[in-house]
Chains A and B, each alone.
Chain A
């Protein structure tokens, strides 16, 4: 049996100071397990220095059955290389929701706030049925 990796991207738009953005994302039904994730700022902010925290992320899997990711999202002023996936091992029920929230915790005045985008990359695997079915066409 072979496994195939599929990547799923959840994008979160943050438009105001302290905003709480709810996440509700349906994963394809054929995915069986999530094995990694990256959550990072991808667009919008232009700050001179790195920020260790711009927001908090919580993700629940299998339609709120399991709370499995709580993470702090930071900001890198200059990205040298994309970070590695953080390893997780989350068995997935078929066709269930990934839910949660991202909350902006940047401490800036509303006038100085810049809208930005957070992307959550989920690395999931699907089992491939190796049975070869007979062709029925003649």
Chain B
């Protein structure tokens, strides 16, 4: 089965990246808050379940930027971000939610 771990592994191989550490990293989305920043210097943060984020969420980093589209799927939506990663939700959430990343330390 082609899952996200497989996809990430292939990405790293293709880009000649040998990670020093690979682990999960979580971002807790709080009710009423729409803006978050994550520091990912010398790291890659793979967003592994983009469908957890609301449609229209804007993620901007030094290497990649995107808006979560309406037809996002888990595999297609896996992207890596690095540097200062900002996440802006289109509307304030009403309930707490956890966003999962895989953190690759370089």
Q: Which residues of A contact B (CB under 8 A)?
A: 18, 20, 22, 56, 58, 60, 63-65, 67, 70, 100-101, 103
Instruction: Kindly identify which residue among B15, B65, B67 contacts A58, using a CB–CB cutoff of 8 Å.
Output: B65
Within 8 A of A (CB), among B44-63: 58, 60, 62-63
Distance between B35 CB and nearest chain A CB, rounded to angstroms: 15
CB-nearest residue of chain A to B62: A70
Q: What are 24 sample pairs from A and B whose C-beta atoms fall under 8 A apart?
A: A18-B58, A20-B58, A20-B60, A20-B65, A22-B66, A56-B60, A56-B65, A58-B62, A58-B63, A58-B64, A58-B65, A60-B63, A63-B14, A63-B15, A64-B15, A65-B15, A67-B62, A67-B82, A70-B62, A100-B64, A101-B65, A101-B66, A103-B60, A103-B65
CB of B64 within 8 A of CB of A101, answer: yes
With contacts defined as CB atoms under 8 Å apart, how many contacts are there between chain A and chain B in the complex? 30
Tell me which residues across on chain A come within 8 A of B14, comparing CB atoms.
63
Does B70 make an interface contact (CB < 8 A)?
no
Q: Which bracket fits the contact residues of B?
A: 10 to 19
Q: Which residues of B contact A (CB under 8 A)?
A: 14-16, 58, 60, 62-67, 82
A20 to B63, CA, bound (A): 12
Tell me which residues across on chain A come within 8 A of B58, comparing CB atoms.
18, 20
Tell me which residues across on chain B come within 8 A of A100, comparing CB atoms.
63-64
CB of B66 within 8 A of CB of A20, answer: yes
A8 to B68, CA, bound (A): 31
CB-nearest residue of chain B to A103: B65
CB-nearest residue of chain A to B66: A20
Distance between A20 CB and nearest chain B CB, rounded to angstroms: 5
Tell me which residues across on chain B come within 8 A of A60, comparing CB atoms.
63
Tell me which residues across on chain B come within 8 A of A63, comparing CB atoms.
14-15
A52 to B65, CA, bound (A): 21
Distance between B73 CB and nearest chain A CB, rounded to angstroms: 17
A56 to B14, CA, bound (A): 27
